[in-house]
A and B are shown apart, each in its own frame.
Chain A
Amino acid sequence: MRRLRNIEEKFFRVLMFLSTSIIVIALTLIIVSILYKGLPSLTWEMISQTPKGGFYFGKEGGILNAIIGSLYLALASTILAFLIGLPVALMMNVHLVKHKKLVNAIRFFLDLLWGVPSIVYGAFGFTVMIYFGLKTSLLAGIFTVTLFIIPIMVRGMDEVLKTIPRGLMESALSLGSTSSEISYRIYIRQVISGLITSILLSFGRAIGDAASVLFTTGYTDHIPTALNQPTATLPLAIFFQLSSPIPEVQNRAYASALVLTIIILIISIASRYFSKRYQKNRIKN
């Protein structure tokens, strides 16, 4: 008996070690290859200029259009998805607390939407655009990406709201709070760090996704100045440069990937900092 348990313990330890190593090695390889190929091409020109003629054949210019475009797109859709998603997540966990079945149905539905590939959202956005006679534009992209990240945002916030002990709601109710007061004055404070994580996760998906913007935002060498203009995005910039046969252009694709990685890194660090700061009032359970 003892021996069997020892073998079992060893087996699971080895298994854990192996899977951890695979993940760490794979991630390291990806980052090293991005750095190795991208870093030499990551010049100041690359991030401070829009593409000039012949940029995609290895001539001068940069990807500022795609950086700005991606930031506009991801910021706007993350904000929109947050404004739509937060009330939904709060509603599911506070107002609808008596309707478990309905809430579980909503969760199931959102999980399905989460699983739908982003290209389908892209196609849907495209259909809607055609219906309204819109051209590829920043607005169409924001619309599509917002739809695409809403399930991620709502379910992420829902999962953290779910962890709030029922006793907190009972206490708040006995003080005479309404559902909205519980939602916006108590629940949000309790899980603020988790909410920030959900926002970050959604932002990461929004800025990194190529398929949903492929048909909807179009692509251009200019920085958009209005919502109805087409917009370049980093994932598509990477895609176009990577499909080029010219090695220099391919290396620029890696430099663009590096830029994308750095943006996500900055957002992660910032969100960690903020979630730590707002965590101090949290009630542990």
Chain B
Amino acid sequence: MDQKTKITISDLNLHIGKQQILKNINLEIPEKKITVILGPSGCGKTTLLKSLNRLTDLYPEMKVTGNIMIDNDDILHTGEDITRLRQKMGLLSQRPYPLPMNIYNNVAFGLRISGRKKKRFLDKRVEHYLKMANLWDEVKDRLKDPASALSIGQQQRLCLARGLAVDPDIILADEPTSALDPISSEAIEKKFVELKQQYTIVMVTHVLRQARRIADYVVFMYLGEIIEQGTAEEVFDNPKEEITKQYLKGTFN
């Protein structure tokens, strides 16, 4: 299997005070595939995603050691501008946080701050990305409404559109369908499967069936450690570890 690796994490440890949140994470995330991270609540999935685009910087109490290589940048110890690195990664956070402005400007924001300000160009891009996130039909007549007026599920899709608009290589998605009904969830899943033509996707989910449907690679975490990782077939059909088996069977306590 000659799969290109997009992100290489080696010996990543993360401490908060005396507590160790991430323990010796070693992981290779393949390019243009969907890697799903599974694991019980509180095991460090969100923290792992945040380490990837260095949002951990915001928390002085977090001590991060180890290496994360994205393409050829050692992002934890890089001299390169961190805002540029972050632009390579679109983050969909566990709870959607639209920006305090209207729907149109939410999507246009990332484009504007990177210097693209022509109205005609923005109009086209905003429409394009809202369509990509399956939100266009619902909002095309109310683009000037505040984003805060949207439902949570719509906000989640708006955040997807906004994240795609900055043209990242990688999408980090933290339970992107947690607030969606089954039909919209499925639409987003389909979208993700389409998107992996262009993007490397890392997704956290609690929905096992969803993981089965879309994952190429699966990582199972427990208490800050990676217990098992491999292709979806390997992990779902032949899990090696006892904890993984229990978790997949739903007999986990």
Q: Is chain B a partner of chain A in the same complex?
A: yes
Q: Which residues of B contact A189 (CB under 8 A)?
A: 99-101
Stretch at the interface among A13-21, A41-49, A92-100, A200-208: A92-100
- Interface: A165 (CB within 8 A): yes
A172 to B93, CA, bound (A): 11
A98 to B56, CA, bound (A): 10
Q: Within the complex, which residue of A97, A100, A171, A181 is in contact with B97, where a contact is CB–CB below 8 Å?
A: A171
B133 CB to closest chain A CB, in angstroms?
A: 15
- Interface: B90 (CB within 8 A): yes
Q: Which residues of B contact A97 (CB under 8 A)?
A: 58
Q: Which residues of A contact B55 (CB under 8 A)?
A: 170, 173-174
How many A-B residue contacts, CB cutoff 8 Å? 89
The answer to whether B97 and A173 touch across the interface, beta carbons within 8 angstroms, is: no
Interface string of A252-285 (1 = CB under 8 A from B): 0000000000000000000000000000111110
The answer to whether B100 and A175 touch across the interface, beta carbons within 8 angstroms, is: no
A190 to B148, CA, bound (A): 11
Q: Which residues of A contact B6 (CB under 8 A)?
A: none
A112 CB to closest chain B CB, in angstroms?
A: 24
Of residues 80 through 105 on chain B, the ones whose CB sits less than 8 Å from some CB of chain A are 83-84, 86-87, 89-91, 93, 95, 97-102
Q: Which residues of B contact A165 (CB under 8 A)?
A: 97
The answer to whether A176 and B114 touch across the interface, beta carbons within 8 angstroms, is: yes
The answer to whether B93 and A177 touch across the interface, beta carbons within 8 angstroms, is: no
The answer to whether A175 and B162 touch across the interface, beta carbons within 8 angstroms, is: yes
A175 to B162, CA, bound (A): 8
The answer to whether B100 and A173 touch across the interface, beta carbons within 8 angstroms, is: no
The answer to whether A170 and B91 touch across the interface, beta carbons within 8 angstroms, is: yes
Given A177-B83, A178-B83, A282-B148; A171-B91 close (CB under 8 Å):
yes
Q: Which residues of A contact B50 (CB under 8 A)?
A: 170
Interface string of B39-53 (1 = CB under 8 A from A): 000000000001001
Q: Within the complex, which residue of A98, A167, A175, A178 is in contact with B110, where a contact is CB–CB below 8 Å?
A: A175
The answer to whether A177 and B113 touch across the interface, beta carbons within 8 angstroms, is: yes
What range describes how many residues of B lie at the interface?
Answer: 20 to 34
The answer to whether B97 and A170 touch across the interface, beta carbons within 8 angstroms, is: yes
The answer to whether B87 and A283 touch across the interface, beta carbons within 8 angstroms, is: no
A178 to B113, CA, bound (A): 9
B43 CB to closest chain A CB, in angstroms?
A: 20
Of residues 133 through 164 on chain B, the ones whose CB sits less than 8 Å from some CB of chain A are 146-148, 159, 162-163
A177 to B95, CA, bound (A): 19
Q: Within the complex, which residue of A166, A174, A186, A282 is in contact with B91, where a contact is CB–CB below 8 Å?
A: A174
Given A190-B100, A282-B148; A173-B95 close (CB under 8 Å):
no
Given A98-B58, A99-B60; A283-B53 close (CB under 8 Å):
no
Which residue of the partner chain A has the closest CB to B95? A167
- Interface: A110 (CB within 8 A): no
Given A97-B58, A173-B86, A174-B55; A167-B100 close (CB under 8 Å):
no
Interface string of A150-192 (1 = CB under 8 A from B): 0000000000000001111111111111100100011001100
B97 CB to closest chain A CB, in angstroms?
A: 4
A274 to B49, CA, bound (A): 40
- Interface: B166 (CB within 8 A): yes
The answer to whether A166 and B148 touch across the interface, beta carbons within 8 angstroms, is: no
A281 to B113, CA, bound (A): 19
Given A167-B95, A281-B146; A174-B163 close (CB under 8 Å):
yes
Q: Which residues of A contact B60 (CB under 8 A)?
A: 98-100
A169 to B97, CA, bound (A): 9
A210 CB to closest chain B CB, in angstroms?
A: 39
Q: Which residue among A98, A100, A176 has the maximum number of chain B CB atoms within 10 Å of its CB?
A: A176
The answer to whether A283 and B147 touch across the interface, beta carbons within 8 angstroms, is: yes
List 13 interface pairs A-B (beta carbons < 8 Å), by A numbering.
Answer: A97-B58, A168-B99, A174-B90, A175-B86, A175-B87, A175-B166, A176-B87, A189-B99, A189-B101, A282-B100, A283-B97, A283-B147, A283-B148
Q: Which residues of B contact A (CB under 8 A)?
A: 50, 53, 55, 57-58, 60, 83-84, 86-87, 89-91, 93, 95, 97-102, 109-110, 113-114, 146-148, 159, 162-163, 166, 172
Q: Which residues of A contact B (CB under 8 A)?
A: 97-100, 165-178, 181, 185-186, 189-190, 280-284
Given A98-B58, A167-B93, A176-B84: 10 more A-B contacts, CB < 8 Å:
A99-B60, A170-B50, A170-B55, A171-B99, A172-B99, A175-B86, A177-B109, A185-B113, A281-B147, A283-B148
